[in-house]
Chain A
Amino acid sequence: MLTAGCDVGSRTAKAVILKNDTILTDAVISARLDPIESAENVMDMALEQAGLALEDIQKIIGTGYGQQQIPFAHTCESEIVCHARGAFWNMPTARTIVDIGGQDSKAIKLDADGRVIRYSYNDKCAAGTGRFLEIMADALQVDLDEMGACGQTYQEEISISNQCVIFAETEVVSLINEEKDVADILNALHCSLSNRVASQVRSLLIEEDVVMTGGVAKNVGVFDALAQGLGVELKPLEGIDPQINGALGAALIAADGTN
């Protein structure tokens, strides 16, 4: 049986196609202005890779920021549930999940059966979201995907504590003007973001294993800083791109439904 999940985020769109419960294929594209277009493009890409047509898929579940606009989705599921499902499938020992998305970051707690017991979003401040990194990457003219590695080479510890993303950006500009090293600034940014998210997870009471999902999990700088901020071991998803976890969860839930 074939099911699919489509996760349309604010910056990227992802699709996963499942055969029973093995991943046939997955696709990630950067989001278009129009979510419908994003959804269609990413799904076409995944289908093409798998050599399938949309009709072959029995059930498709949409999730993410643009879930309402996905034309071919049979139903929608919240990102919380999808990330929980994906992560638990990947790592049944997972009890706490951290996902930093473009518009918001989430902390999710699971019970031993993978049910969501509690969850929380970032406090009303964009400084705790992926958008923060995007804007900073812009300001520093660094490629978003290279931020992590680049920040690892930092020498000096500096702190960026501004509440407002835009003012934090000003702070970054002035650090550049003070001719601070880009790596040091990046490291400061990673710590600043991680600390915000860490407090959000702590308020749910951390329970291990703690796993991080979402595209930002690929940023080693944030990943390490977050582990430090949480004071526990933080685990990456095994053998899959953490970015597709939401879509994967959606596809799995679609499969649950059809069995």
Chain B
Amino acid sequence: MKKVFTEAATRLNIPAIQKWKEAGGKVVGYTCSFTPVELFYAAGILPVRLRGIDATSMEIADAYYGPFVCSFPKALLQLAGSGRYAFLDGVVISNGCDTMRRLDDCWRKMGQDMPGTAPPWFYYVDVPHKPDGHARDWYVNQIKKMMAAVEKQFHVTLTEEALGRAVRKQNNVRRLLWELEKLRQADDLKVTGAEAYAAIVAGTVMPRDDYAAHLADLIDDIRTRKADVAADRKRLFLSGSVCDDFDLISLIEESDAVVAGENVCFGVRTAEDYVEETGDPVAALAARYLSGSVCPRMLGWYRERASMHMQRIKHLKADGVILQNIRFCDLHGSENGLFERDLEKNGLPALRIEREYGPLVDRGRLKMRVDAFIEQLTSQKKSTLRGNHAT
């Protein structure tokens, strides 16, 4: 376990961010993985994915949001309202889903009620709900607009060179993450889900150079390891709504299972998952961020997601899949239903769970279901499962 990763994955204002601020650097938070972070790196700004970790109560957030909405944006609002996000110089909110785009409404209102709880700069970016044709052109323009807004707000100029450099750096990180994925595909699994997940989450909040170096270390270290952490344990794949909750991973790994891979908003999905380094960088960014339609917010593109999902699960040699979604997350909530159906058609057992974002509640009930799921995998003939991977 790399301390720097676990720390980054379990704390909000991590040393790396504090150092960055002390050096006079700007920090901008973003809510959705469709935000092209490269342009912030190019502007010398640190983009940080917003997380609602350890929001134990919602007395502030519930004053703005209604009762029937996802607890993730609520948790973000709660933390902002309690001053935990005071280090942000700006926030980019996008239309990830209905509730998330309304974070803009709620956060601005809270800023009026409680001075100092809103960042000095809000930017709303309109990501199309389809990846191709006129939608892609649209997104190119939106990225250009956002770049102009960043230049104006932070008094910087975004040169094509700078953008190119940022793209190359981020691509390097993506390739490293794919290296990690490849290591997790090995017959002998050398890294636990908790460890890998920490590394992946850390990648959404740490400065690039810093992160790339640590990630490279981790990968080298894993290569030297001998023991198979999945020996006589089940390899599980975790999928669904955004998840920053390490208790969930450790709860799964406390039972006879290892999380071999995950598909939850961040991280990489395929070896091809990088930004074209030649030609117009903005067009390349738009193309990459819309490609693969990796989130159910890309309505009508389920088949693409499903096949990508299936490929990864097979290559990671998962014995079963845990499909989780946050309560009131309709997008993942219903897509998990389709995944469950299609996975089981392919002989891959799935367990669906609905949870609240943030501190794990009801550990006992959850543990019972994970244990039972593992017993289910054991009692069914492995051959049929492995057989599928072979094909």
| Contact surface of A with B, Cβ cutoff 8 Å | 123-125, 159-163, 167, 170-171, 174, 177, 191-192, 194-196, 198-200, 202-203, 205, 229
Chain B residues lying within 8 Å of A196, measured Cβ to Cβ, are 59, 62
* Chain A CB within 8 A of B195 CB: no
Taking A195-B57, A195-B59, A203-B63 as known contacts, 12 extra A-B pairs with beta carbons closer than 8 A to each other, sorted by chain A number, are: A123-B66, A160-B361, A161-B358, A167-B361, A170-B364, A174-B363, A194-B59, A195-B58, A199-B59, A199-B63, A202-B62, A205-B113
* Alpha-carbon distance between A162 and B361 when the two chains are bound, in angstroms: 6
* Chain A CB within 8 A of B359 CB: yes
Of the listed residues B56, B59, B60, B361, the one surrounded by the most CB atoms of chain A closer than 10 A to its CB is B59
| Contact surface of B with A, Cβ cutoff 8 Å | 56-64, 66-67, 113, 327, 356, 358-359, 361-365
B66 to chain A, nearest CB (A): 7
Contact: B60 with A174, CB < 8 Å?
no
The 5 closest A-B pairs by CB, nearest first: A199-B62, A123-B67, A202-B63, A195-B59, A198-B59
Of the listed residues B61, B327, B358, B362, the one surrounded by the most CB atoms of chain A closer than 10 A to its CB is B362
Chain A residues lying within 8 Å of B61, measured Cβ to Cβ, are 199
* Alpha-carbon distance between A170 and B60 when the two chains are bound, in angstroms: 26
* Alpha-carbon distance between A198 and B362 when the two chains are bound, in angstroms: 24
* Alpha-carbon distance between A177 and B365 when the two chains are bound, in angstroms: 13
* Alpha-carbon distance between A125 and B59 when the two chains are bound, in angstroms: 14
B57 to chain A, nearest CB (A): 4
Instruction: Name 7 interchain pairs, CB-CB below 8 A, sorted by A.
Output: A125-B67, A171-B362, A174-B364, A191-B57, A196-B62, A199-B58, A205-B113
Contact: A123 with B359, CB < 8 Å?
no
B241 to chain A, nearest CB (A): 16
Count of chain A to chain B residue pairs whose CB atoms are closer than 8 Å in the complex: 58
Chain B residues lying within 8 Å of A194, measured Cβ to Cβ, are 59
Contact: B67 with A124, CB < 8 Å?
yes
Chain B residues lying within 8 Å of A195, measured Cβ to Cβ, are 57-59, 62
A196 to chain B, nearest CB (A): 7
* Alpha-carbon distance between A74 and B359 when the two chains are bound, in angstroms: 51
Chain A residues lying within 8 Å of B365, measured Cβ to Cβ, are 170
Of the listed residues B64, B327, B364, the one surrounded by the most CB atoms of chain A closer than 10 A to its CB is B364
Q: Which residue of A lies closest to B67 (CB)?
A: A123
Known: A174-B364, A205-B113. A199 touches B56 (CB 8 A): no
Contact: B57 with A159, CB < 8 Å?
yes
Chain A residues lying within 8 Å of B361, measured Cβ to Cβ, are 160-162, 167, 171
Q: Which residue of A lies closest to B61 (CB)?
A: A199
Q: Which residue of B lies closest to A177 (CB)?
A: B364
Q: Which one of B56, B356, B359 lies within 8 Å of A163 (CB-CB)? A: B356
* Alpha-carbon distance between A166 and B164 when the two chains are bound, in angstroms: 55
Q: Which residue of A lies closest to B56 (CB)?
A: A159
* Alpha-carbon distance between A200 and B60 when the two chains are bound, in angstroms: 9
* Alpha-carbon distance between A173 and B78 when the two chains are bound, in angstroms: 28
* Main DSSP-derived SS at the B contact region: loop
Known: A162-B362, A170-B365, A174-B363. A202 touches B356 (CB 8 A): no
Chain B residues lying within 8 Å of A202, measured Cβ to Cβ, are 59-60, 62-63
Q: Which one of A124, A161, A174, A191 lies within 8 Å of B359 (CB-CB)? A: A161
* Alpha-carbon distance between A126 and B63 when the two chains are bound, in angstroms: 17
Contact: A199 with B359, CB < 8 Å?
no
Q: Which residue of B lies closest to A125 (CB)?
A: B67
* Alpha-carbon distance between A248 and B31 when the two chains are bound, in angstroms: 51
Chain B residues lying within 8 Å of A160, measured Cβ to Cβ, are 361
Contact: B60 with A199, CB < 8 Å?
yes
Q: Which residue of B lies closest to A192 (CB)?
A: B57
Chain B residues lying within 8 Å of A200, measured Cβ to Cβ, are 62-63
A22 to chain B, nearest CB (A): 38
* Alpha-carbon distance between A123 and B66 when the two chains are bound, in angstroms: 8
Q: Which residue of A lies closest to B327 (CB)?
A: A163
Q: Which residue of A lies closest to B365 (CB)?
A: A170
Q: Which residue of B lies closest to A162 (CB)?
A: B361
* Alpha-carbon distance between A195 and B359 when the two chains are bound, in angstroms: 16
Chain B residues lying within 8 Å of A124, measured Cβ to Cβ, are 67
* Alpha-carbon distance between A138 and B68 when the two chains are bound, in angstroms: 28
* Alpha-carbon distance between A177 and B363 when the two chains are bound, in angstroms: 12
A128 to chain B, nearest CB (A): 9
Of the listed residues A162, A195, A196, A199, the one surrounded by the most CB atoms of chain B closer than 10 A to its CB is A199
* Alpha-carbon distance between A160 and B57 when the two chains are bound, in angstroms: 9
* Alpha-carbon distance between A192 and B327 when the two chains are bound, in angstroms: 19
Chain B residues lying within 8 Å of A205, measured Cβ to Cβ, are 113
Chain A residues lying within 8 Å of B57, measured Cβ to Cβ, are 159, 161, 191-192, 195, 229
A122 to chain B, nearest CB (A): 9
* Alpha-carbon distance between A203 and B61 when the two chains are bound, in angstroms: 10
* Alpha-carbon distance between A196 and B62 when the two chains are bound, in angstroms: 8
* Alpha-carbon distance between A162 and B56 when the two chains are bound, in angstroms: 11
Q: Which residue of B lies closest to A188 (CB)?
A: B56
* Alpha-carbon distance between A167 and B310 when the two chains are bound, in angstroms: 34
* Alpha-carbon distance between A72 and B260 when the two chains are bound, in angstroms: 70
Contact: A159 with B59, CB < 8 Å?
no
Known: A195-B58, A202-B63. A159 touches B359 (CB 8 A): yes
Chain B residues lying within 8 Å of A171, measured Cβ to Cβ, are 361-362
Chain B residues lying within 8 Å of A170, measured Cβ to Cβ, are 362, 364-365
* Alpha-carbon distance between A255 and B58 when the two chains are bound, in angstroms: 42
Chain A residues lying within 8 Å of B66, measured Cβ to Cβ, are 123
Known: A123-B67, A125-B67, A199-B63. A167 touches B362 (CB 8 A): yes
Chain A residues lying within 8 Å of B327, measured Cβ to Cβ, are 163
Chain A residues lying within 8 Å of B67, measured Cβ to Cβ, are 123-125
Known: A170-B362, A205-B113. A161 touches B356 (CB 8 A): yes
Q: Which residue of B lies closest to A229 (CB)?
A: B59
